[in-house]
Amino acid sequence: MKKLITLFAIAGMVLALAPAAQAADLAWTSGISGDYRIMFTTYGTTAATSTDITTYNAFVQGQADADADILALGATWNAVASTATHARDNTLTAGTGDANDVPIYYVDGTLLALNNAALWGPNPNGAIANPNGHVAAGARVVLELDGTEAPGGTKVWTGTLEDGTRCPNSGDKYQLGQNNVQFGFATAAGQIADGRDNTWLIQNNENGTNPKPMYALSNPITAGGGSTPGTLIYGK
């Protein structure tokens, strides 16, 4: 049975978990209230042979819409992936201080990144505190649609560098739509020399005809949506 997290716009952003779970207040946890975004790893898989980013946006939108609780959010979902289009442009996470520059959460309500700069920066939140233990300091672990971690070693198509730009199609780093395509690990933790945690995006490349999951990121969602509460899945 699903445990639901219901978001109400009452004195900020409040999460009310199912009775057996402890209630949590997102505004208290993150120090931020207002609009937010959600990221998840898809259950379904797709090839990475198309050079058209809209192909992958349609795929992740379909994955989100197939779940009634996520569909109820009424969100638009884009792939965190790059063709000739940078992932940060495709997901509107390149700008700072605009309407798209809001906190990003996992589907279980845990904070992933405080803002766009944090998403593509060295650490998601600086010294991140995560009571659920999903994320080690300086590493992103993108949860699956039901709020659980993907099986270890889960490869995810990205075609993207750690700063959110497209892979250059040289060396061992290739965009989606090439013969070989860059993938990351949904549950891996690892850093490069400048401290960026990059293995969620950059691990290796593989033939693009092989089916793999993708990362999905929502557009900004208003907490509670006025008088109508939104819902997020916490587990299935």
Percent of the chain with pLDDT over 90: 45
pLDDT band at residue 31 using 50, 70 and 90 as cut-offs: very low
If one compares 46 and 20, the residue with the highest pLDDT of the two is 46
pLDDT band at residue 109 using 50, 70 and 90 as cut-offs: confident
Work out the average pLDDT over 136-165: 84
- What is the spatial distance between Cα 160 and Cα 176, in angstroms, rounded to a whole number? 9
The single residue listed with the structure tokens 């929502």 is 218
Q: What is the pLDDT of residue 9?
A: 29
Which CATH code for domain 32-101+113-221? 3.10.100
The single residue listed with the structure tokens 């549950």 is 187
- For residue 181, the cross-strand partners are 206
Percent of the chain with pLDDT over 70: 69
Q: What is the pLDDT of residue 87?
A: 98
Work out the average pLDDT over 48-75: 93
Is the whole model's pTM more than 0.85, yes or no?
no
Q: Where are the domains of the chain?
A: 32-101+113-221
pLDDT of residue 122 exceeding 90: no
pLDDT of residue 7 exceeding 80: no
The most confident of 2-6, 20-24, 55-59, 72-76, by mean pLDDT: 55-59
If one compares 158 and 103, the residue with the highest pLDDT of the two is 158
